[in-house]
């Protein structure tokens, strides 16, 4: 009897989180199985915003240039209060951009997903089955078995994998099967989301920046998408029927403040309840939750898809290290447990900040709304200052980080442009995406680093790492550090202020990684 193939990882769901997980794991040389009941990408855009951290992941997958035609810089977002006055303006950080990519972007989701799927199709170790559905899941000590059925619900086969990732959305069948409940973070409001493909007449009638209308009678948002794509998010008032709001006639009535049917074509109109939810557990044995299966948040900063990709970027390198035997035993379990610890804390904190932004937008009491406007203007001395969107994103605060109290710990390390002969390239393209030790100019690596082949040293200021804009050097100076130890997902494991502290930090990490350090010493 032929022995059943055992995949390293099975992924349920082939949306943005699932396809990025498949790409990162397949690129790491792992055998991956992916299934999804849909046969193609969803043709209607749901996400509309991404940021430079996500573009850095796309760069790692080798698709940053391929997705660029479907992305544009996010315009500033202007917030207007009760009486039409400007009360906040959100922008992006100024050049030189710290991650080597435009910090905030809008994008066309179906086209970007097609690029990502095309990349995964190039990876021989990834098997993708579309038009099928997972109908059952059986965890066991060696892994997990997935029962797969065809489009008609007829059982076809069982897929066995050492680990599984649920990327199957907010109504996750995997999460439901394993009884992994969601925690309610106390946000539940009905909204209408409308996407319109505008014509020239319509474009001329609209603002040239994205707008948050913080008006008690009906808070709403206008987002400038790529090319002629415009999105409205319109709150529904008590007593309004969400289904009726999503009919073409009622949608056009709600849009009449800005445009008429002569100005464009409805692309999508759907009523949603904006939720704030997070899974209580992110891991059950060999099964992990990611993306909307693990959390949902209001859309006010456009972080929904970004959060899912952060999830799988965090998980992929940890699974790869364990599956390749680089980390074993208790160290492996601790590393995998850190996924849920890190991501849950990060999602909860970012959701709290998003809810705060939502509270500014959604205040329904006119008196309190005017008090809000006055307070926000008083805070900036009556003149609205630009607030970079990225300033709102929190660092990691727990998990696989150095045991130190430092503001840089858990933050996203910058990606400088480095000279490579007559050209310049982003740091990751030269130094790779594993563990990296980034050294300030003139700082020598500790002796222990030479015995760790999994650790790449980037010595700024040398012929191999000459910066063009000084982004990383300035970062190290700002944090009074001689070096930063950077994880494969680009987050700062820890920093060192002295050569002795640097040697101690690197040695401690090698010990913590257990088998990886043993292999290097052998």
152-177 pLDDT per residue, tens = 999 999 999 999 999 999 999 999 99
Quote the tokens at residue 247: 């009919």
- Read off the pLDDT of residues 228-252 as tens digits, 9 standing for 90 and up: 999 999 999 999 999 999 999 999 9
pLDDT for 262 beyond 80: yes
DSSP 39: S
Mean pLDDT value across residues 137-157: 94
Quote the tokens at residue 32: 């991956």
Q: What is the overall mean pLDDT for the chain?
A: 95
What is the model's pLDDT at position 72? Answer: 98
Angle separating helix axes 304-323 and 329-362, nearest 10 degrees: 180
Assign 1 a pLDDT band (cuts: 50, 70, 90).
very low
Quote the tokens at residue 206: 């609209």
- Read off the pLDDT of residues 479-504 as tens digits, 9 standing for 90 and up: 999 999 999 999 999 999 999 999 99
User: What phi and psi, each to the nearest 5 degrees, are found at residue 338?
Assistant: -65, -25
3-state secondary structure of 109: helix
- Read off the pLDDT of residues 63-85 as tens digits, 9 standing for 90 and up: 999 999 999 999 999 999 999 99
Say which CATH topology domain 417-521 has: Glutaredoxin (3.40.30)
The residue among 9, 5, 23 whose CA lies nearest residue 288 is 9
Mean pLDDT value across residues 380-406: 93
Q: Are strands 287-289 and 77-80 parallel, antiparallel or unpaired?
A: unpaired
For the chain, what are the domain ranges?
Answer: 6-71+103-182+277-360, 417-521
What is the model's pLDDT at position 359? Answer: 85
**Do residues 57 and 16 touch, judged by C-beta distance below 8 A?**
no
What is the model's pLDDT at position 422? Answer: 83
What is the model's pLDDT at position 302? Answer: 84
End-to-end CA distance of the chain: give it in Å, rounded.
39
CATH top class, domain 6-71+103-182+277-360: alpha beta
Q: Are strands 104-107 and 71-73 parallel, antiparallel or unpaired?
A: antiparallel
Mean pLDDT value across residues 325-329: 93
3-state DSSP percent of the chain in helix, strand and coil, to 5 = 35, 30, 35
Angle separating helix axes 52-60 and 16-27, nearest 10 degrees: 40
What is the model's pLDDT at position 522? Answer: 39
For the chain, the C-alpha Rg in angstroms (whole number) is: 24
pTM above 0.85, yes or no: yes
pLDDT for 521 beyond 60: no
Assign 300 a pLDDT band (cuts: 50, 70, 90).
confident
414/427 Cα distance (integer angstroms): 9
166/155 Cα distance (integer angstroms): 20
pLDDT for 517 beyond 60: no
What is the model's pLDDT at position 105? Answer: 97
């Amino acid at each position: 009897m032929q022995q059943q193939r055992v995949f390293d990882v099975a992924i349920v769901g082939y949306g943005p989180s699932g396809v990025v997980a498949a790409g990162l794991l397949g690129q790491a040389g792992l055998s991956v199985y992916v299934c999804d009941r849909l046969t193609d990408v969803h043709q209607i855009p749901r996400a509309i915003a991404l940021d430079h951290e996500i573009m850095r992941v796309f760069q790692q997958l080798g698709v940053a240039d391929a997705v660029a035609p479907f992305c544009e810089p996010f315009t500033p977002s202007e917030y207007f209060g009760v009486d039409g006055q400007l009360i906040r303006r959100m922008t992006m950080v100024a050049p030189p951009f710290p991650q080597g990519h435009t910090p905030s972007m809008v994008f066309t989701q179906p086209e970007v997903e097609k690029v990502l799927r095309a990349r995964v199709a190039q990876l021989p170790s990834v098997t993708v089955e579309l038009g099928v559905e997972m109908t059952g899941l059986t965890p066991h000590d060696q892994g997990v078995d997935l029962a797969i059925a065809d489009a008609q619900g007829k059982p076809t086969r069982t897929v066995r994998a050492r680990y599984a990732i649920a990327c199957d959305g907010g109504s996750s069948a995997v999460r439901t099967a394993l009884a992994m409940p969601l925690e309610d973070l106390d946000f539940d409001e009905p909204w209408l989301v409308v996407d319109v493909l505008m014509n020239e007449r319509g474009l001329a009638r609209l603002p040239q920046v994205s707008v948050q209308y913080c008006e008690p009678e009906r808070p709403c948002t206008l987002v400038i998408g790529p090319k002629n794509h415009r999105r409205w998010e319109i709150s529904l008032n008590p007593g309004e029927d969400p289904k009726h709001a999503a009919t073409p006639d009622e949608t056009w009535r709600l849009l009449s403040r800005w445009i008429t049917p002569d100005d464009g074509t409805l692309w999508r109109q759907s009523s949603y309840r904006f939720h704030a939810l997070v899974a209580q557990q992110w891991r059950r044995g060999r099964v992990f939750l990611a993306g909307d299966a693990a959390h949902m948040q209001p859309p006010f900063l456009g972080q929904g898809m970004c959060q899912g990709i952060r999830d799988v970027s965090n998980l992929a390198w940890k699974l790869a290290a364990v599956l390749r035997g680089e980390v074993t035993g208790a160290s492996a379990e601790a590393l995998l447990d850190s996924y849920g610890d890190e991501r849950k804390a990060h999602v909860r904190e970012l959701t709290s900040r998003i809810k705060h932004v939502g509270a500014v937008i959604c205040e329904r009491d006119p008196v309190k709304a005017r008090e809000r406007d006055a307070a926000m203007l008083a805070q900036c001395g009556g003149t609205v200052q630009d607030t970079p969107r990225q300033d709102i994103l929190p660092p990691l605060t727990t998990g696989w980080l150095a045991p130190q109290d430092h503001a840089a710990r858990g933050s996203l390390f910058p990606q400088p442009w480095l000279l490579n002969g007559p050209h310049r390239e982003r740091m990751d393209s030269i130094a790779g995406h594993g563990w990296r030790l980034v050294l300030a100019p003139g700082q020598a690596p500790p002796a222990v680093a030479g015995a760790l082949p999994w650790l790449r040293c980037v010595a700024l200021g040398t012929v191999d790492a000459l910066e063009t804009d000084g982004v990383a050097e300035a970062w190290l100076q700002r944090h009074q550090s001689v070096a930063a130890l950077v994880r494969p997902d680009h987050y700062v494991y820890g920093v060192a202020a002295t050569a002795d502290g640097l040697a101690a930090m690197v040695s401690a990490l090698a010990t913590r990684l257990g088998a990886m350090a043993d292999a290097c010493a052998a």
